[in-house]
Amino acid sequence: MDCPFCQNELNDGALKCGHCLEYLSNHVCPDCHGTLPLEAKVCMHCHYRFSQISIDVTQLSMSFNSEVLASLLFRFRFLPQEIVTDEDKITINTPGIFRLWNNTDEVPWNKIAGFNYRSGIIWDKVEIETRGQKPSTILGLSKDNSEQLRKVLQSIVNAN
């Protein structure tokens, strides 16, 4: 049998080519297209995390806003943050004054490294951390919305 990458002859039962060092599995990173061992959860080339989310996809679809009063107190804006999630990512839309601009953070679930959850007396704050980027912050969440988001984030962080 020959290596599909470098065409050199392989030993019987080889998992990796001894010449080009490519893995012979069909497990390929969708970001950098590097070959990986079958059991890899994180790409060793680009650190892409393969999501093994243990939560139902229907629970990943949420849409809510932070509280208006919290937005006014913390951000000095009448326009609250808008949070929309789906099976691929969480989108945090932070409108500027009079909606003259919008700051939109899209964080894929598989890029989440961790999160900080701060529970206040009335509102909660969630910071979502990704490798190599500044954390995405959601201020002024109601207790119900923050608890729902925290459960999803906890499930994703535990899966990775």
Give the pLDDT band of residue 68 (cuts 50, 70, 90): very high
Task: Please tell me the total count of domains within the chain.
Answer: 2
pTM of the entire predicted model: 0.65
DSSP, collapsed to helix, strand or coil, labels residue 80 as coil
What's the pLDDT tens digit per position in 31-53? Answer: 788 888 877 877 887 877 776 55
Cα distance between residue 153 and residue 117, in whole Å: 10
146 and 71 within one domain: yes
> Which residue type occupies 7?
Q
Comparing 123 with 154, the larger pLDDT belongs to 123
Give the domain CATH number at 129: 2.30.29.30
Domain that holds residue 113: 57-159
Chain centroid to CA 48? 10
Same domain, 38 and 91: no
Same domain, 74 and 25: no
Cα 8 to Cα 69: distance, rounded to the nearest angstrom: 67
61 and 46 housed in the same domain = no
